[in-house]
């Protein structure tokens, strides 16, 4: 199998993990993390939040973030990038 055709996350049988199975496993993981007091219930987050965090935390320019995220438009980048823009105060210029 060519590397570009290999699934990123695999099931126990080595085949592609189905989305529903991933969602179930994620919910079990988060539930366990709360039970083990690794995170608080108020800190619960979903799989999709990982993408948002990854884009927000990516260093560099907006172009760098867009390229790293694979988004084709700047509008979609705006949905995922939660960075707080830094602006200069007029008295500091």
The pLDDT score that the predictor gives to residue 93 is 58
The pLDDT score that the predictor gives to residue 26 is 94
Global pTM reads 0.62
Give the phi and the psi of residue 10 in degrees, each rounded to 5.
Answer: -115, 155
The pLDDT score that the predictor gives to residue 92 is 63
User: Could you tell me which residues are beta bridge partners of residue 10?
Assistant: 16
Residue 46: partners with Cβ closer than 8 Å, 6 or more residues away: 26
Phi-psi region of 78 (alpha: psi -120 to 50; beta: other; left: phi over 0): alpha
Query: Using an 8 Å Cβ cutoff, are 22 and 9 in contact?
Result: yes
Distance between CA atoms of 52 and 63, rounded to whole angstroms?
16
pLDDT lower than 50: segments of the chain: none
């Amino acid at each position: 199998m060519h590397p570009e055709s290999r699934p990123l996350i695999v099931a126990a049988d080595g085949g592609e993990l189905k989305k529903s199975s991933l969602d179930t496993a994620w919910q079990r993981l988060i539930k366990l993390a709360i039970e083990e007091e690794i995170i608080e219930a108020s800190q619960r987050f979903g799989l999709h939040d990982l993408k948002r965090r990854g884009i927000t935390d990516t260093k560099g320019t907006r172009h760098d973030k867009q390229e790293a995220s694979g988004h084709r438009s700047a509008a979609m980048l705006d949905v995922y990038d939660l960075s707080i823009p830094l602006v200069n105060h007029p008295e500091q210029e």
